[in-house]
Amino acid sequence: MKYALLIYSPTQAHEYDAPRPEVEEKIASYVSALRDSGVLLAAEQLTHADTATSVRVRGEDRLLTDGPFMETKEHLLGFLLIDVPDLDAALDWAARGGAAAIGTVEVRAVKTGQPWQAMLD
């Protein structure tokens, strides 16, 4: 079953812009473990939330707002997409990476079998 591990960090965390070598090593080790176990499908890091543009369409109007959709104390830093047997395995991987120690890792099952997904094959 596929799960997205959504990685959030407090907005005041400066490690996002200038990671320390020990943080980089921990991230590299974690991603290597995911890859070596065969569960890693994708991983991406996002630019800082203040570079975001939010888009809304209301009637014929396209509304653009600088920054994230809403004010929050944590910002989405990136995600990992994994394929594991069940939620317990996904939760174990979420806890192992270290991000949960300084922020939050939200674990969500990926919906499959949607008609639009057939266009990706």
Q: For 98-107, what is each residue's pLDDT tens digit?
A: 888 878 899 9
pLDDT digits (tens, 9 = 90+) for 37-86: 999 999 998 887 778 888 889 999 998 888 766 666 777 888 999 999 99
Q: For residue 96, what pLDDT is reported?
A: 92
Task: Provide φ and ψ at 23, rounded to 5°.
Answer: -70, -45
What DSSP designation does 97 have? S
Q: What whole-number distance in Å separates Cα of residue 13 and Cα of residue 32?
A: 24
Instruction: Walk me through the domains of the chain, giving residue ranges and CATH numbers.
Output: 2-120 (3.30.70.1060)
pLDDT digits (tens, 9 = 90+) for 24-33: 788 889 999 9
Q: For residue 45, what pLDDT is reported?
A: 87
Provide the 3-class DSSP secondary structure of residue 51: helix
Alpha helices in 66-117 (DSSP H): 87-96, 99-102
